Amino acid sequence: MNIKDFLDEKADRYNSKDFIPDDPVSIPHLFSRREDIEIAGFLTATISWGQRPVILRNSRALLGRMDMDPYTFILQARTGEFKPFRTFVHRTFQGTDCLAFLTALQFLYRKYGSLEPLFRLPASGVGSEPMKEAIIGFREIFISKFRYSRSVKHVANPGMGASAKRINMFLRWMVRSDDRGVDFGLWKTISPSRLVCPLDVHSGRVARTLGLLRRTANDWKAAAELTDALRNLDRNDPVKYDFALFGLGVAEKF
């Protein structure tokens, strides 16, 4: 079996609704309204590091403070209604960071109605560079609404070399569309072919074992190198192989 057939088989196995309950993507799946899915997905992706049960528990707790109605809360909350979020903690994501994110989201949803317009892909460019520019552009707008500089560290900056794993994961959720029921495919202005594969220690290890990645650091250059290799397997939907790399790394300890 060649590597494409091998990864296609693994992607098919893990890109399934059976994958959802124990994964952070289960949190935006609690909602049906587009805006709720976006906000729940973005906040969940933001705190998606560490043990997965803790990520799920804290994501539910965060959205529970919004009465599981995040879009309505974000649009209508007054300043005093943000104060209870000062006690929210997920690892190094503290209450001050939570307030920064919520107030930024409020400004952006009142102005744009969605996060999608903030990820503007340049018309020209090849490979992963257009998405890099789009993420940098989003980041600049988002953090411009922060009152305190300490919170900017929670918005990855590929311009400084970060792999932006959590943002790329969020983008996969929003952009990819198929009949498997995991990713949402809500955003139509970005083609799945332009996405960059989320890269972490697990997917990086598997990719190097399979010869898809040579770079040793898990940074943006490595994410771009990996995605370019995956585009050689499926130029229209390279990030579907995120399911294969994840399944091999986490479930199968490949």
Residue pLDDT, tens place only, 140-152? 999 998 987 899 9
Asked which of 47-56, 93-102, 122-131, 220-229 is least confident by mean pLDDT, the reply is 122-131
Residue 212 neighbours by CB under 8 Å, 6+ apart: 3, 226, 229, 230
Give SS3 for 115: coil
Q: Measured in whole angstroms, how far is the alpha carbon of residue 138 from the centre of its chain?
A: 13
Tokens 């289960």 sit at which residue?
Answer: 26
User: Mean pLDDT across the chain, nearest whole number?
Assistant: 95
pTM over cut 0.85 = yes
Q: Which two tokens stand for residue 26?
A: 């289960």
- Residue 124 is predicted with a pLDDT of 64
Q: Which of 62-76, 118-132, 239-253 has the highest mean pLDDT?
A: 62-76
pLDDT at 254: 83
Reply yes or no on whether the pLDDT at 123 is more than 80.
Answer: no
Q: Summarize the confidence of residues 86-108 as an average pLDDT.
A: 96
Q: Where are any strands of DSSP class E within the chain?
A: none
Tens digit of each residue's pLDDT (9 = 90 or more) over 182-237: 999 999 999 999 999 999 999 999 999 999 999 999 999 999 999 999 999 999 99
C-alpha dist (Å) from residue 20 to 38, 181, 246: 17, 9, 13
pLDDT at 253: 83
Q: Is the pLDDT of residue 99 over 90?
A: yes
Task: Count the Cβ atoms, other than its own, within 10 Å of residue 41.
Answer: 26
Percent above pLDDT 70 for the chain: 98
